[in-house]
Amino acid sequence: KEYIDPDGEKYANMIEEIRKQLHFTSLRYHRLDDMIEAVGLDPDKLCTYCWDGKE
């Protein structure tokens, strides 16, 4: 779970390693709360397993 906290150091290091391996100049992923807001659906009706491991 320490890698899923977008404000955590391990998350930042993981993203940086992925960015380097893919030879990108930058890499960002959507935050779960931003995705839920953008979709506009009740969070209980969305599958967020990829983000938080909750079914």
DSSP for 1-55 reads -TTT-TTSHHHHHHHHHHHHHTT-S------HHHHHHHHTS-GGGS--HHHH---
Task: Quote the pLDDT of residue 5.
Answer: 85
The total number of structural domains in the chain stands at: 1
Is position 23 within any domain?
yes
CA–CA distance from 29 to each of 6, 18, 33 (Å)? 9, 11, 12
Task: Quote the pLDDT of residue 28.
Answer: 92
Q: Residues 1-55: pLDDT tens digits?
A: 778 788 999 999 999 999 999 999 999 988 888 989 999 999 888 998 888 887 7
Task: Quote the pLDDT of residue 50.
Answer: 83
Task: Quote the pLDDT of residue 13.
Answer: 97
Is position 1 within any domain?
no
Task: Quote the pLDDT of residue 8.
Answer: 92
Task: Quote the pLDDT of residue 38.
Answer: 93
End-to-end, the C-alpha distance of the chain in Å comes to 15
Q: What range does the domain containing 24 cover? A: 9-52
Is position 2 within any domain?
no
Q: Are 2 and 10 in contact (CB under 8 A)?
A: yes
